[in-house]
Amino acid sequence: MEAGSASASAAIARRIDALFDRVARHWLAILLIGMGIFVTLPFLAPVAMAAGWTWLGKLIYTMYIPFCHQLPQRSWFLFGEKLTYTLDEISRVYPSTDPWRLRFFYGSPEMGWKVAWSDRMISFYGMIPVYGALYAWLRRWRGRPLPPIPLWAFIALLAPLALDGGTHWLSDLLYGVSGGGFRDTNAWLATLTGNAWPGFYAGDHFGTFNWWMRLITGVLGAWGIAFFGLPWADRLMSVEEDSSEMTEKSDH
């Protein structure tokens, strides 16, 4: 009886080891598939709303609240008249400037339906699996893992995102999201540039300074996360894989 129990336990242990070994060998593919699903689901929210599957669309919006503020004036809309809308345009159909209530404005048949990511999260989360796929291709082309970018480069790539996001947070904290904050008007930038591009400074809609900054800082931040984090994860998984191979040899 004891011998049979020990044999069964050993078999279970071998299966667990084999599972960990497979994960260690294919961790990047597993991560990229998971990230692909994670970044794609928010785009299915407006698809579901447009198709009349309101319960599914609202479920996706709710699932992603912990990951994004979903403020409509900083989001993309699909199946409507425009990609982005100003706070004034949104206020005509949803008269509220309370940030918590605004995130629950999903859109309308005329305006289209909101993606469950803000524009910054689209560029940040969306580019991580893209860079991950590039990392996988480069790793295969070189025949070995890439070295991580230096720590200073990682910090430099994340700093613009932290600065832009931090100043937006401070502006919203001090002035709310009514459009009068220093990161809503960007009057400081208009002064610095002599108001050379009148339609470029104020607001969060497509083509404005804020829109471009959220796009660019998200892309840069994702680059830093991918090419700093993935090489280190590669090293960790390589150690795990080598350890599994040594264990297998010792068992034989």
pLDDT at position 97 is 83
245 has pLDDT over 60: no
pLDDT at position 23 is 63
CB 145 within 8 A of CB 238: yes
Cβ neighbours of residue 216 closer than 8 Å, sequence gap 6 or more: 123, 160
Query: φ, ψ for residue 126 (rounded to 5)?
Result: -65, -35
Q: What is the mean pLDDT of residues 190-212?
A: 95
pTM of the model: 0.83
Single-letter amino acid code for the residue at 191 = T
Kindly report, residue by residue over 123-162, the tens digit of the pLDDT: 999 999 999 999 999 998 988 889 999 999 999 999 999 9
Per-residue confidence band for 27, with pLDDT thresholds at 50, 70 and 90: confident
Q: How far apart are CA 132 and CA 226, in angstroms?
A: 6
pLDDT at position 222 is 97
- CB atoms under 10 Å from CB of 101, counted, come to 11
pLDDT at position 177 is 85
pLDDT at position 74 is 95
Cβ neighbours of residue 240 closer than 8 Å, sequence gap 6 or more: 20, 24
Q: Considering the chain, what percentage of its residues have pLDDT values greater than 90? A: 72
Q: Which of 34, 38, 107, 33 is nearest to 68 (CA)?
A: 38
39 has pLDDT over 60: yes
Question: Domain map of the chain by residue range?
Answer: 2-251
pLDDT at position 9 is 61
Mean pLDDT of the chain: 88
Kindly report, residue by residue over 77-131, the tens digit of the pLDDT: 999 999 999 999 999 999 888 888 999 999 999 999 999 999 999 999 999 999 9
In angstroms, what is the C-alpha Rg of the chain? 24
Q: What is the mean pLDDT of residues 24-36?
A: 86
Give SS3 for 44. Answer: helix
